[in-house]
Structure 1
Amino acid sequence: MRADDRDPTAPVTVVGIGADGWGGLSPAARRAVEEADVLRGSARQLGLVPGYVPARRLPWPSPMGPALATLPEDFGGSRVVVLASGDPMLSGVGASLVRLHGPGAVRVLPHPSSVSLACARLGWAVQETAVVTVVGRALELVAQHVTPGRRLLVLGSDGRTPAAVAALCARLGYGASRVTALAQLGGPAEHALTGPAAEWPHWVVDPLVVTAVEAVADPGTVPLPTVPGLPDAAFEDDGQLTKREVRAVTLARLVPLPGQLLWDVGAGAGSIGIEWMRTHPSCRAVAVESHPDRAARITRNAAHLGVPGLQVVEGRAPEALAGLPAPDAVFVGGGATTPSLLEACWAALPAGGRLVVNAVTVESEAVLAGWFTRVGGELVRIAVQRAEPVGSYSGWKAAMPVTIFSVVR
């Protein structure tokens, strides 16, 4: 192509290609590849293109992020085609390019995704199947999706993923779950391996694999829901834990919404931030904790309960709040009497942001009463009693009452 024939505004074309290779492409996808000046993709994907295609073939560097960011400008208006696995918009490079450059700069020609192919082989309805990607992410993201009767597909980056998923299921008390490794979907070498999670024998399989799980709880396993109010025993703690009933009420006032960010200040065991994130995969949280042992414990709790992306900041508020991304909601579980703490939290909130503060001491209650008078909101006191043995009978034992102040900015 002559330089004066090039169109610098031409979109990058992303072509999805499956394990069936060149023969599985649509006429439009083949034509785009045949007319390309530059092909970018993995070495495996580039090897699926016939030798007669004249385009310059460039494997992605590692890491590939910088190359994605400059892709439209790097080739001076040449016709650039990016090869991607399956559907490029399903946790793929197409979605990354659109996010970086906008939908007008990217043209996508999808192939059936590995999710669609896997569901077709298993007889599962796609809309009823949970999909979790652990490519470049922590395996523990799978944990909160493993509940009785749930069907899920796990997208991994190598042939060790099925064994790792099986081990995680067994560790969570779901060793009876049926695990299926679906490899080379759509290609001539397609095959499947199936077995119970607790007895999974295939430590390494084909790297082009999707892991399917039909979750079955072992006897005695207590399922953990995504609604707030997990059992206290689900958390490792040293006593600094917002108890189950109070936690459920607190989270109701924080109003977790998809995509929003919570600051959990004085996080203790991290229970509020963890349960906030469990309500939706896009919910984010920052746990601020000054005690190193507790900060480490929060990280362990978050991983165990399926939200390893919880950010833990070790430091004392309000100083530790400086530089954090702006929150949509803030929870203060202790330390309401700390000078300037509530002022800093309030100032960080946008219009519509929620502030919720819990107190158990008279001094903290006085601070909350002052804020209630000043900015309005709600002031609620919760008292919980639990039945405990009294000799051969049972009686009520009261926990310390908790005062909850909540307000929308």
Structure 2
Amino acid sequence: MTRMEPATPMDPGVGVTVVGLDAAGAPPHPALAPVLATAGLVVGAARHLAAVPVPAGADTVTLGPLAPALHCLADAVAARVPAVVLASGDPGLFGIVRRLRAAGLPLRVVPAVSSVAAAFARAGLPWDGAAVVTAHGRDLRPALNACRALPLVAVLTAPGAGAAELGAGLIGWPRRLLVAEHLGTDAERIHDVTPVQAATGTWADPHVVLSRTDAEPAVLADAASPQASADAVPDPVTAGGMRVDNQPAAAPAGGWALPEIRYAHRDSMITKSEVRALVVARLRPRLGRLVWDVGAGSGSVGIECALLGAAVLAVEQDPEAGATIRANATAHAVTVRLVTGRAPEALAGLPEPDAVFVGGGGADVLAAVVGRRPERVVLTLAALDRVAPAVGLLRAAGYTVEGSQLSAARLADLPGGSIRLAATNPVVVLTGERQCPT
């Protein structure tokens, strides 16, 4: 085996050196000065260029649109002119490193303490199990839904997608938000607030938001249903096998489409495992998405969506069924927000879903659901006379509809050691998909 020698960490003759400036307020990396001294090109935001001793003979590019900087960096690399890019904190964490690599530039990276690490340090919190997501230059909803689903999330924010917007979206979820403004500067401020306080506050940019909860109940009771379990949440490292980068969640260790015996239920009122497997697949749950489970019953569909990383809101009119949902969510160590009430009235004012499972209710419930325009609607029907009206309603609302009848026969033992097949009730599964603009 050939022994690999360590690379010289700050060799200015190799491509582009990306240097992070410490979000915690520490001095720049000690090797930055000699690298800058030989640099022919220095790229960075105005505040970064003002914070370091740029040599008089070096060209500078102040970051705004990235394309001009990429062009200048490519020219510098071609001419073997040493180039330095200044960035905040750890530039490999939702930072400029990804864009520079995509442009094919050879890089060396010297990270500093990231704003996320600094925020957790200010709060005195461990963060080895935290999810880190970004709302900077992106739709806020995936980051917001990660905060709804997980007990500890750090959010990189942007103007219009910050603490106020996150707080407004988390009203109804018992969260505390730590808002860290201007980390590492004389203007640094740390605020520990409720979602309501965050929603009504005014926050200085840049800021980082930590969403957290202490001893969170497995089911979050709606105001109409105040009773909730006091069980603590699981370790977020292992809960549902989530990844933390806005990508789809990994499969949960215990699987999904679990046998009915894994759930408490009343009078066999539960979506059977064979049907549940298809329903969950059609809902496409993952971290960053919000799933409604309407007519939740035992909660099995919503719970399995939560196991796959989605934020879940269960709507159930029967208080006894609500208690069952709480018990099942606790047993499977997932978080579900429960709204006790009769649909469609109970759907008013709920946050916008990405996907909805309709496990109960009539045409008025389905009409209310499609009126909210989720990307996907999945429903199960045992009565054939309800299939055509449901298909018509979905198509009239602009959904492409697929349908399947599932009829399973399970092995059952007979006296004397023989085996027979026992049929389960056939069920029609309808999936409506709305084409969303790209």
Percent of aligned pairs sharing the same letter? 26
Residue identity matched to 2:277: V
Q: Partners in 2 of 1:54 and 1:154 — Cα distance?
A: 39
Q: Partners in 1 of 2:207 and 2:153 — Cα distance?
A: 14
Q: Partners in 1 of 2:30 and 2:428 — Cα distance?
A: 66
* TM-score (norm. length: structure 1): 0.54
* Residue equivalent to 1:11: 15
User: Contact 2:18/2:110 (CA < 8 Å) preserved in 1?
Assistant: yes
Match of 2:211 among 210, 213, 216: 213
Q: Partners in 1 of 2:272 and 2:401 — Cα distance?
A: 14
Q: Partners in 2 of 1:100 and 1:116 — Cα distance?
A: 28
1:116 aligns with 2:114: no
Matches within 5 A, 1:2-401: 10-19=14-23, 24-50=27-53, 54-62=57-65, 64-65=66-67, 67-68=69-70, 71-73=73-75, 76-101=79-104, 105-147=106-148, 150-158=151-159, 161-170=162-171, 173-174=172-173, 176-200=174-198, 203-215=201-213, 217=220, 219=222, 220=225, 248-250=276-278, 279=308, 297-299=373-375, 334=402, 359-360=404-405, 381-382=407-408, 400-401=426-427
1:289-341 residue CA offsets vs partner (Å, 9 max, x unmatched): xxxx969823498xxxxxxxxxxxxxx9xxxxxxxxxxxxxxx9726xxxxxx
The Cα of 1:246 is off from its aligned counterpart by 5.7
User: Contact 2:168/2:199 (CA < 8 Å) preserved in 1?
Assistant: no
Structure 1 residue matching 2:180: 3-state secondary structure: strand
Structure 1 residue matching 2:167: 3-state secondary structure: helix
User: Contact 1:160/1:205 (CA < 8 Å) preserved in 2?
Assistant: no
Structure 2 residue matching 1:297: 3-state secondary structure: coil
Structure 2 residue matching 1:298: 3-state secondary structure: coil
The Cα of 1:188 is off from its aligned counterpart by 3.2
The Cα of 1:84 is off from its aligned counterpart by 0.8
Structure 1 residue matching 2:208: 3-state secondary structure: strand
Q: 1:279 to 1:189 in 2, by over 3 A?
A: same
User: Contact 2:87/2:96 (CA < 8 Å) preserved in 1?
Assistant: yes
User: Contact 1:40/1:59 (CA < 8 Å) preserved in 2?
Assistant: yes
* TM-score (norm. length: structure 2): 0.50
User: Contact 2:13/2:81 (CA < 8 Å) preserved in 1?
Assistant: no
1:200-224 residue CA offsets vs partner (Å, 9 max, x unmatched): 366332212110111454554899x
Q: Partners in 1 of 2:306 and 2:43 — Cα distance?
A: 36
Residue identity matched to 1:401: V
Q: 1:43 to 1:250 in 2, by over 3 A?
A: same
The Cα of 1:127 is off from its aligned counterpart by 1.5
Structure 2 stretches lacking a partner, 5+ long:
1-10, 234-239, 241-248, 258-270, 288-300, 311-353, 356-368, 378-394, 410-423, 431-438
User: Contact 1:33/1:81 (CA < 8 Å) preserved in 2?
Assistant: yes
Q: Partners in 1 of 2:160 and 2:56 — Cα distance?
A: 31
Q: 1:149 to 1:97 in 2, by over 3 A?
A: closer
Q: Partners in 2 of 1:138 and 1:247 — Cα distance?
A: 32
Q: 1:116 to 1:208 in 2, by over 3 A?
A: same
Q: Partners in 2 of 1:46 and 1:25 — Cα distance?
A: 12
The Cα of 1:20 is off from its aligned counterpart by 6.1
Structure 2 residue matching 1:47: 3-state secondary structure: helix
1:86-136 residue CA offsets vs partner (Å, 9 max, x unmatched): 00100000122123316xx10101111111111212222222111111111
The Cα of 1:24 is off from its aligned counterpart by 1.5
Q: Partners in 2 of 1:299 and 1:253 — Cα distance?
A: 14
Q: Partners in 2 of 1:149 and 1:334 — Cα distance?
A: 32
The Cα of 1:66 is off from its aligned counterpart by 6.3
Q: Partners in 1 of 2:111 and 2:306 — Cα distance?
A: 31
Structure 1 residue matching 2:103: 3-state secondary structure: helix
User: What is the count of residue pairs matched by the alignment?
Assistant: 271
The Cα of 1:78 is off from its aligned counterpart by 1.6
User: Contact 1:14/1:108 (CA < 8 Å) preserved in 2?
Assistant: yes
Residue identity matched to 2:145: Q
Q: Partners in 2 of 1:278 and 1:38 — Cα distance?
A: 49
Q: Partners in 1 of 2:147 and 2:119 — Cα distance?
A: 18
Q: Partners in 2 of 1:167 and 1:34 — Cα distance?
A: 48
Residue identity matched to 1:183: E
User: Contact 1:15/1:83 (CA < 8 Å) preserved in 2?
Assistant: yes
User: Contact 1:159/1:206 (CA < 8 Å) preserved in 2?
Assistant: no
Q: Partners in 1 of 2:72 and 2:279 — Cα distance?
A: 42
User: Contact 2:42/2:59 (CA < 8 Å) preserved in 1?
Assistant: yes
Q: 1:200 to 1:294 in 2, by over 3 A?
A: closer
The Cα of 1:58 is off from its aligned counterpart by 1.0
1:224-255 residue CA offsets vs partner (Å, 9 max, x unmatched): x88768xxxxxxxxxxxxx796663127779x
User: Contact 2:33/2:53 (CA < 8 Å) preserved in 1?
Assistant: no
Structure 2 residue matching 1:90: 3-state secondary structure: coil
Structure 1 stretches lacking a partner, 5+ long:
1-6, 230-242, 260-271, 288-292, 302-315, 317-331, 336-358, 361-379, 384-397, 405-409
Q: Partners in 2 of 1:278 and 1:132 — Cα distance?
A: 19
Residue identity matched to 1:334: E
Residue identity matched to 2:278: T
Q: 1:191 to 1:252 in 2, by over 3 A?
A: closer
Structure 2 residue matching 1:87: 3-state secondary structure: coil
Q: Partners in 2 of 1:402 and 1:300 — Cα distance?
A: 16
Residue identity matched to 1:184: H
Q: Partners in 1 of 2:18 and 2:188 — Cα distance?
A: 24
Q: Partners in 1 of 2:376 and 2:76 — Cα distance?
A: 43
